[in-house]
Amino acid sequence: MDTIKYCNQLVARLETLMFQELSGMAYWKCEFVGPDFIRAQNIQGKTVPEIVESCTKAMKEAGIVADISYKTGGEGLMLKLKVKGCMHHEKEALVKAEGVAPYICPVANMVLDQIHEKLKYETSYLSKIAIDPDRNLCLLYLALYETADKIGCVSDWLKDDEDAEWLKAQPSQILAAEDRKKK
């Protein structure tokens, strides 16, 4: 039996049902899905890049992901993670096949948890999840607010982003994305 496939199927069904039951508001309830693993690791870092690299190392060693590349932008407000070979990728595909755009990412939640824990950031959120099944890749855009005075700051996250065109065509459940406003 493929236990990862089985678990992904169970979680995908639960995620889909929760989304439907809560009328699309399930996203706001899911930021703590995933961090239990990373809290048990020895994550070190004094900057966002150091935290991301330490989390990536732990997740790769555990077989959760094959690789994560990242970049920051938007005056330090945006963290983009490009996740390859994630064990949860099948879950996301199953949720998407049920007509629900993905909205829970344990990998993003692990990284955000450690940014809060180690760097004491005021708040953050997962802004966009985009899944590329052809490349077994997820793009995650996370908003980071180090202090309260930065909350509400706006910047062009997609300026000079190599994935901008592909990303614009992807559905999102998060923050009334442009694709949801067109309906």
3.30.70, 3.30.1380, 2.40.10, 1.20.120: which CATH number matches 3-181?
Answer: 3.30.1380
The Cα 149–Cα 51 span in angstroms is: 23
The Cα 122–Cα 92 span in angstroms is: 29
Helix 48-62 to helix 106-119 angle, to the nearest 10 degrees? 140
The Cα 75–Cα 89 span in angstroms is: 30
Q: Which of 23-27, 48-52, 86-90 has the highest mean pLDDT?
A: 48-52
Sheet holding 78-84, edge to edge: 67-73, 78-84, 137-145, 123-132
Predicted TM-score of the model (pTM): 0.83
Domain boundaries, the chain: 3-181
Where is average pLDDT lowest: 20-29, 76-85, 92-101, 164-173?
A: 20-29
Q: What is the mean pLDDT of the chain?
A: 83
pLDDT digits (tens, 9 = 90+) for 27-71: 666 777 888 899 999 999 999 999 999 999 999 999 999 999 999
Radius of gyration of the chain (CA): 16
pLDDT digits (tens, 9 = 90+) for 108-127: 999 999 999 999 998 888 88
Residue 181: pLDDT above 60? no
